[in-house]
């Protein structure tokens, strides 16, 4: 559906709202009011200083009228009046100024000639009204010009020429104003990159569709589309490539829509579709299924082949639905679709509503968790399996724990994504780093760990910014710790999706901080990236460790990682060791270190020294006894 057809469809349901917002009439009214106030003040100054007393009265009358009209328009533009009340009061202000100026012009005779310029300035700003009102203002100004000129002495030809010049200027200026308001309308309702309706026009479209549903029945749905990993495209290839990608995706989306469906761009990589179907809810769901076909073919942009996918959320209008609630529900369904994997769609349901409500509670709780002292850092020992320190505890992994007063214990797999989406992860990460270094400095001061003991801290992709190296260096210096005292764990996904991650990791490596690649084998990284990035340690994901005693395939994968790491000069830490046999196979295979419940669970800082002793004891049971 084109923009012109959409505007016809929207009227009259959203006409008042769109006119009020799109044309920004109140803003223009404030500009006009300010000009009236300034013009009135200057006219009064001119009359009092320049004009003789005999001709001063008409000019002062105009000055006071302009000043008063301008002040009223300033106040009217600031009040939350209805569109009708605003229009009536603004008309009254402009018309009163025109009438007084015209009357003063007649009374002043030839001396009032300069006042014609003030009349000229009153009409063009009638553009803040509708087209009909604008031309009525122009006609009124022309009538005032003719009346005023007829009452003045002078040659008829001179009057005709003056009237023609003034009338032509009024008409031209009003036409230019009309073109300006048309451009304002388009810029306020149309996305400049894709030419699609924007968020504002989308809201009006949904409101109109809901009104038709209330009158005629049928189904109304909003489909929210979010491109997956679009930020990665912008960070890797630049925003120009990202914009070109969006422009190529739009016609593919349009090709899957029906003639009555409306596609809009909400901003960034988000699009929305408004569907109306008289047959019921089946139509919008079928539309969502068709839209998933768009992701099947790659997109060629500037010689680059880009594979694009998107997540789609579908919200069907029920009783009492509004544009805001439909977009909210479609957004919730879209995020649920992202959880299922790229390229899928999800219809909003009561279960999703419950999960969305919980996410809201989690976000609100996280914002207060630090102040309430609900957060704690627990530590899981890491044991050396091979090498000169075999049989000893060489470090620990710091794991954030949250026990909410309202929600009870909340796992990191649940609250970390919420923290990332809510923009809280950096604050949490800062707190964790400081807490870890405080605990580590305390253990060393009490002689509970040696100087080589290292604590690994998980770092989110959102934390991999230019400020992180300086922040880590400052904390190490404040706590009196060496750079190798702390290791930073980064997932493969964080490295691939974080545009500045390689540079930040290189700076951290230059500081001497140990870098660990977490959950290796579960993300997007390639062998070439593993070779180029400055990691010291590779951590084998628990999913591979869990199956190595039962599956030859998993065992072969673990051995392949060990051989690869050895070739690249990296150590290997196995996660999730829960059985003695797993620990023994890892030791025999040459794995550097391991952690897991078999050795010790994660414990609070005060309990770590005892946990380290327990873990070393469990490891001693794994190692073969020395023959006597």
Instruction: Give SS3 for 123.
Output: coil
Q: CATH topology of 199-348 equal to that of 370-622?
A: no
**Lowest pLDDT segment from 13-17, 100-104, 402-406:** 13-17
Residue 537 pairs in a beta bridge with 516, 571
pLDDT at 125 over 60: no
Q: Residue 11's pLDDT is what?
A: 35
Q: What is the DSSP-derived secondary structure letter of residue 463?
A: G
Predicted confidence (pLDDT) per residue in 433-490, tens digit = 999 999 999 999 999 999 999 999 999 988 998 999 999 999 999 999 999 999 999 9
pLDDT at 320 over 80: yes
**Lowest pLDDT segment from 24-33, 43-52, 436-445:** 24-33
Predicted confidence (pLDDT) per residue in 366-425, tens digit = 988 888 889 999 999 999 999 999 989 999 999 999 999 889 999 998 999 889 888 889
pTM over 0.75: no
Q: Residue 567's pLDDT is what?
A: 87
Decide: 487 and 456 in contact? Cβ < 8 Å.
Answer: yes
Predicted confidence (pLDDT) per residue in 172-230, tens digit = 666 666 676 667 667 778 888 898 999 888 999 999 999 998 888 888 999 999 998 88
Which position has the higher pLDDT, 39 or 170? 39
| Domain limits, the chain | 3-189, 199-348, 370-622
Nearest partner of 535 among 467, 456, 474, 591, judged by Cα? 456
Residue bearing tokens 């870890």 = 436
Which position has the higher pLDDT, 520 or 576? 576
Decide: 377 and 486 in contact? Cβ < 8 Å.
Answer: no
Over residues 230-250, mean pLDDT: 89
245 to 43, 193, 236, 345, 483: CA distances (angstroms) = 57, 11, 13, 21, 43
Q: Which two tokens stand for residue 599?
A: 């050795």
Over residues 231-256, mean pLDDT: 90
Q: Which two tokens stand for residue 274?
A: 């408004």
Nearest partner of 181 among 25, 5, 7, judged by Cα? 25
Report d(CA 543, CA 563) in Å as an integer: 19
The architecture CATH gives domain 199-348? 2-Layer Sandwich (3.30)
**Lowest pLDDT segment from 103-107, 250-254, 610-614:** 103-107
Q: What is the mean pLDDT of the chain?
A: 81
How many helices (H) does the chain have, and how many strands (E)? 24, 17
Decide: 75 and 117 in contact? Cβ < 8 Å.
Answer: no
Q: Which fold has domain 370-622?
A: TIM Barrel (3.20.20)
Q: Residue 90's pLDDT is what?
A: 74
pLDDT at 83 over 60: yes
Which position has the higher pLDDT, 519 or 22? 519
pLDDT at 12 over 60: no
């Amino acid at each position: 559906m084109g923009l012109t057809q959409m505007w016809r469809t929207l009227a009259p349901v959203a006409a008042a709202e769109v006119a009020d917002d799109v044309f920004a009439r109140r803003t223009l009214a404030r500009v006009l009011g300010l000009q009236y106030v300034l013009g009135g003040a200057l006219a009064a100054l001119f009359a009092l200083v320049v004009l003789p007393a005999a001709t001063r009265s008409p000019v002062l009358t105009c000055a006071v009228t302009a000043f008063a009209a301008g002040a009223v328009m300033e106040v009217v533009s600031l009040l939350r009046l209805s569109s009708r009340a605003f229009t009536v009061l603004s008309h009254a202000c402009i018309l009163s100024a025109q009438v007084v100026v015209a009357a003063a012009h007649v009374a002043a005779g030839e001396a009032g000639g300069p006042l014609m310029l003030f009349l000229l300035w009153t009409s063009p700003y009638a553009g803040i009204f509708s087209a009909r009102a604008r031309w009525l203002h122009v006609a009124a100004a022309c009538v005032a010009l003719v009346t005023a000129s007829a009452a003045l002495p002078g040659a008829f030809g001179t009057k005709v020429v003056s009237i023609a010049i003034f009338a032509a200027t009024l008409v031209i200026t009003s036409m230019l104003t009309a073109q300006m308001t048309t451009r304002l309308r388009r810029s306020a309702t149309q996305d400049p990159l894709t030419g699609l309706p924007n968020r504002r026009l989308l809201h009006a479209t949904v409101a109109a569709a809901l009104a038709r549903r209330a009158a005629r029945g049928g189904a109304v749905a909003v489909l929210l589309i979010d491109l997956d990993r679009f930020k990665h495209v912008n960070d890797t290839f630049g925003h120009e490539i990202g914009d070109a990608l969006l422009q190529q995706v739009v016609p593919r989306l349009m090709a899957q829509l029906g003639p009555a469906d409306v596609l809009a761009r909400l901003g960034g990589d988000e699009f929305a579709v408004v569907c109306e179907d008289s047959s019921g809810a089946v139509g919008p769901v079928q539309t969502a299924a068709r839209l998933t076909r768009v992701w099947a073919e790659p997109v060629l942009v500037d010689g680059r082949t880009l594979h694009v996918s998107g997540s789609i959320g579908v919200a069907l209008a029920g009783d009492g639905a509004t544009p805001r609630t439909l977009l909210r529900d479609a957004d919730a369904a879209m995020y649920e679709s992202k959880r299922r994997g790229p390229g899928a769609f999800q219809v909003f349901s009561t279960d999703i509503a419950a999960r969305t409500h919980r996410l809201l509670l989690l976000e609100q709780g996280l914002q207060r968790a630090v102040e309430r002292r609900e957060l704690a850092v627990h530590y899981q020992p890491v044991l050396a399996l091979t090498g000169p320190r075999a049989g000893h505890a060489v470090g620990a992994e710091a794991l954030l724990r949250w026990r909410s007063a309202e929600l009870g214990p909340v796992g990191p797999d649940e609250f970390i994504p919420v923290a990332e989406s809510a923009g809280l992860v950096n604050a949490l990460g800062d707190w964790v780093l400081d807490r870890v270094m405080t605990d580590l400095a305390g253990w060393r001061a009490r002689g509970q760990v040696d100087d080589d003991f290292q604590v690994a801290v998980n770092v989110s992709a959102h934390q991999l910014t230019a400020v992180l190296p300086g922040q880590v260096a400052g904390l190490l210096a404040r706590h009196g710790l060496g750079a190798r005292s702390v290791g930073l764990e980064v997932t493969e996904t964080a490295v691939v999706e974080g545009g500045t991650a390689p540079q930040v990791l290189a700076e951290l490596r230059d500081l001497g901080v140990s870098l660990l690649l977490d959950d290796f084998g579960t993300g997007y990284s390639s062998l070439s990236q593993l070779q180029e990035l400055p990691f010291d340690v590779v951590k084998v994901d628990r999913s591979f460790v869990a199956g190595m005693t039962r599956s030859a395939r998993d065992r072969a994968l673990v051995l392949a990682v060990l051989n690869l790491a050895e070739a690249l000069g990296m150590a290997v830490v196995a996660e999730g060791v829960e059985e003695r046999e797993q620990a023994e196979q890892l030791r025999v295979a040459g794995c550097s270190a391991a952690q897991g419940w078999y050795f010790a669970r994660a414990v609070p800082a005060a309990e770590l020294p005892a946990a380290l002793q327990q873990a070393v004891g469990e490891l001693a049971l794994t190692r073969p006894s020395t023959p006597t």
